[in-house]
Amino acid sequence: MVTIILGHIYSIFGFRYYEFLSSPIAFESFFILSGFYMAMVWQNDYSRMPGGFKKFLYKRVFRIFPLYWLVLVTSVVISLITYFTSNNPLLLGPLFSHWAQLNWSVRFYVFFSNIFIFGQEAIFFLKINFDTGAFEWGRKFIDGDPPLHFFLLISQAWAISYILYFYLLLPLLNRFSSMAIFILMALLVAARFIWYHIGHEVEPWLYRFYPFEFAFFLGGMLSARAYDKWKARLEQKKPICFLSFIAFFALTCLYDLWYGEYLMKQWIYYALLCVLMPLFFALTKDNRADNYLGQLAYPAYICNFIIIHLIKMSGIENPGILMALVLGITLLVSILLVKYIVVPLNKFTLSKIVGLKRSV
């Protein structure tokens, strides 16, 4: 998550400092983690429960959307305040400048995807023809003046749409054998490299095309099944799990210094993560600090963009100070969101799920 936030800082402020992983690797590692964790949650908590899919979706919806809507509304309010006080519309700038030029279908799509998240991922493959106000296919995600994704108020939420699609497919996927999942994953990875070979190794194809990214969720699922099979033995190998975690953490911090071609390094990292994930989970599953950090991840991911834009207004140019301010304020806001929003919502959804169980 820190790497993703640093990537946002670099893109908005226009400098590159040392980063542990590039944004594509950080996102795709996050998809592996999501596949692992959600497969574990579904298999252990919901798969055999009466009405399990309904309860699973109920909890996921209440975990994602209320917090997203809160940050969305807050971002709009802050942008309006800065617009009326300093003539800086922040995240609303493209909407203020170009809304009248959009036709009804583009307006609906922008409005819908901003409110409900679904569909945000497709925006990176489109651009607006401002002569007609209609969509056109874009060759690169920065095509257009401004690019279409500038109309997303929480533009980083495109990755959440991927996770939502995975939630919807998870019960079906859980019926597949591990071999079937592996074959599907291998086919998607092969299709990705064929697509790169014919000349598409550019954004947005690098990590924003869902069929290619779906392979990482499948890799996480396979890793979860490996843990489920070997968990009794892993519980007896905590020193090995700990050493593996330390070694992988060091490799992550030093990733920028790895020797080798970019794609080779990238896929070695993914393979290591999938293989070692069962060891990491065996080590940390009962660790309260690790669980708390996991709770902070989504709030930090959702709120950091508006924080970066507000800090940009300060005029501070020192990279070290900028990164410290963004990371520090994002952490503080995330702690407050967990305490006053996430935890109460978790209690509420748990009570509702118990109620649903009793009514079945």
d(C-alpha 145, C-alpha 128), whole Å: 8
Which tokens is 306 given?
Answer: 């508006």
Count the domains in the chain. 1
128: enclosing H helix or E strand: strand 126-129
In whole angstroms, how far apart are CA 348 and each of 158, 341, 355, 357? Answer: 27, 11, 11, 14
Token look-up 């520090």 returns: 328
Domain presence at residue 205: yes
- The whole-angstrom separation of Cα 140 and Cα 148 is 11
Q: Give me the amino acid identity at 55.
A: K
Does residue 54 form part of some domain? yes
pLDDT of residue 348: 79
Q: State pLDDT tens for residues 194-229.
A: 999 998 888 888 888 999 999 999 999 999 999 999
For every residue of 244-279, DSSP letters joined together read HHHHHHHHHHTGGG--S-HHHHHHHHHHHHHHHHHH
- Residue at 284 is within a domain: yes
In contact, 330 and 310? CB cutoff 8 Å: no
What is the distance between the alpha carbons of residues 312 and 314, in angstroms, rounded to a whole number? 5
What distance in Å separates the CA atoms of residue 281 and residue 285, rounded to the nearest whole number? 5
**Residues of the domain holding 326:** 2-73+173-359
pLDDT digits (tens, 9 = 90+) for 53-98: 988 998 899 999 999 999 999 999 999 999 999 999 999 999 999 9
The residues facing 122 across adjacent strands are none
Contact (CB, 8 A) for 288 and 231: no
Determine, yes or no, domain membership for 110: no
Cα 289–Cα 282–Cα 246 angle in degrees, nearest 5:
70
Q: Which residues pair with 128 in a beta bridge?
A: 135
The verdict on residue 112 lying in a domain is no
Q: Residue 290 has which token pair?
A: 């690790």
Question: Is residue 285 in some structural domain?
Answer: yes
Per residue of the chain (360 residues), give pLDDT as tens. 677 777 776 676 666 655 667 778 888 999 999 999 999 999 888 888 888 898 899 889 999 999 999 999 999 999 999 999 999 999 999 999 999 999 999 999 999 999 999 999 888 899 898 888 898 888 777 777 888 889 999 988 999 999 999 999 999 999 999 999 999 999 999 999 999 999 888 888 888 899 999 999 999 999 999 999 999 899 888 999 999 999 999 998 888 888 888 888 999 999 999 999 999 999 998 888 888 988 999 999 999 989 998 998 888 878 788 888 989 999 999 999 999 998 898 887 877 665 555 444
In a domain, 283, yes or no: yes
Instruction: Read off the amino acid at residue 296.
Output: L
Q: Is residue 95 part of a domain?
A: no
Helix axes 262-284, 238-253, angle to 10 degrees: 140
Contact between residue 34 and residue 159 where contact means Cβ atoms under 8 Å apart: no
Contact criterion met (CB below 8 Å) for 206 and 18: no
